[in-house]
Chains A and B, each alone.
Chain A
Amino acid sequence: MEFSHEVKESYAEVKANGRLNMVSAPKLREFVTDVIAAGSNRIVVNLENTAFMDSSGLGALIGCLKAARQAGGDLRIAAVQPQVKMVLQLTSMDKVLTSYTSADEAFSND
């Protein structure tokens, strides 16, 4: 899995490309924590190129959300693909991890 990030006007976009599983989950956590530590607390994780996520991946997203909230910000997800959406719905985590169709939209109303 590959990560990249870009600091935009009102948020930082993190792109996670590949499978979000037990191997890559800790790396995502580390990557997002670094972005938060560098001063961005409004994070959008763009999941456009994440076709698969397991429970460890979900755990990493939850951990990142907690970290962003602790820093006084928020974390939102964008461009969620079918399998990831399914995991979020089954676990009822779609009510906690808010998803948006695109990264631009995620923080457009606040």
Chain B
Amino acid sequence: MVSPTESRRAVVIEDDPDIRGLLVRVLVKQGFDVTQAGAGLPGVEEVRRVKPDLVTLDLNLPDLDGLEVCKLLREFSDAFIVMLTARADELDKLTGLDNGADEYLSKPFSPRELQSRINALFRRRPSPAADSAARSDLERATEVQQSLLPQEDIQVQGYDVAGVFRPSRNVGGDFYDWYRTPEGLHLTFADAMGKGMGAALIAATVRAVMRSTGLRHDLDTAFASASKAIAEDLDSSNSFVTLFHARLDADSGTVAYVDAGHGLALHVQSTGTVHRLPSGGPPVGAWAGSEWPQSVMELAPGDSLVVVSDGVLDVFESVEDFTDAVLQAAHNQESAQSASTAILALAPAETAEDDVTVVVVRRLPQEVAA
């Protein structure tokens, strides 16, 4: 019996509208919230969006082979997959292979048989209680991650500073942090490996450690001690974190920075050129004995320091394409906020699998600053 409080989701991927309708009815009767797709690729997107517990998948779809779709789904989903085929002779062949599907049915199928196969699958599924525990883990991770972001705007004379953050469905380990110093500001931008609560907790640790280093005057010493503390924490979890930490001297425009495996900080110049700041060493916690020398860059009036997470990079074929696109998006923007938003838009929300984070530190042109 299906208890009424149990909310299970299903996606039906089937091109024949009649069969699709039948499948939807059968599943709704079994207590599923059902959505549907008439082809393979829309189906994959639907599964990505809905995160169902069950997928029924037709083998012969207009765009992609059902086996191909199954493979794509298995990249990110652990839903039960029931594969349907109109060709009974294929059934033996299919069941003998490890395709990633959990169950096979030949069409025409009896609704009762489908129901009993699905029930059998769900008897093997962890209890709904375990499921809801996992969901609230995701919610808690989201809260942790949100709490790491600066709650207020930052005012630095002669500068315009903004940051934007868009979480993905799977909480990642992105965060940025900034605070005022007598000289200007300190900025930390980090991405912890992986997703979920683990990544969010690592991010929280990193933020706390980096904040505590703000008191140390010398950047090299500060970063060396911070990375040591972080690496010790990471050691047991087999994880690492990419980290960009910068200190701005507002009067001179000098930015001293350390880049540990991030590699996605850009110097966007008012002249319309862009220069990527290469990372100085591996991510923190990735490799014992690593060192990260500090580097220095100068922000001229009208220049921006743009730091972006790899969620934006994933959209582009190459780093060059990425830096060009960031330049186009950031150049001639009115404010740091509008530049950040334009860069964020480079990674469309529908397809982004990862968190996307952008920070822009813009030195105002002289006539505006005066």
Contact surface of A with B, Cβ cutoff 8 Å: 1, 18-19, 21-24, 54-56, 58-59, 62-63, 82, 86, 89-93, 95-96
Contacts and interface: CB of A to CB of B under 8 A. Distances in A.
A55 B278 CA distance: 18
Nearest to B98: A2
Contacts of A62: 240, 286-287
B283 A19 contact: no
A19 B282 CA distance: 22
Interface of B: 71, 74-76, 170, 191, 193-195, 238-240, 242, 261-264, 278-283, 286-287, 310, 313, 317-319, 354
Given A22-B194, A55-B191, A91 B319 contact: no
- Which of A19, A21, A82, A93: most chain B Cβ within 10 A? A93
A11 B265 CA distance: 39
Contacts of A19: 75
Nearest to B195: A22
B97 to A, nearest CB: 12
A92 B282 contact: yes
Given A55-B191, A58-B193, A90-B263, 13 more contacts: A18-B71, A22-B170, A23-B75, A55-B193, A58-B286, A59-B193, A59-B238, A59-B240, A59-B286, A90-B262, A93-B282, A93-B286, A96-B282
B238 A92 contact: no
A93 B283 CA distance: 8
Contacts of B239: 59
21 contacts: A23-B76, A55-B191, A55-B240, A55-B242, A58-B193, A59-B238, A62-B287, A63-B238, A86-B318, A86-B319, A90-B263, A90-B279, A90-B310, A91-B261, A91-B262, A91-B279, A92-B261, A92-B263, A93-B261, A93-B282, A93-B283
Q: 10 closest pairs, A vs B, by CB?
A: A90-B263, A91-B261, A55-B193, A92-B279, A59-B193, A92-B282, A56-B194, A96-B287, A92-B281, A93-B282
Nearest to B170: A22
- Which of A18, A19, A86, A90: most chain B Cβ within 10 A? A90
B88 to A, nearest CB: 28
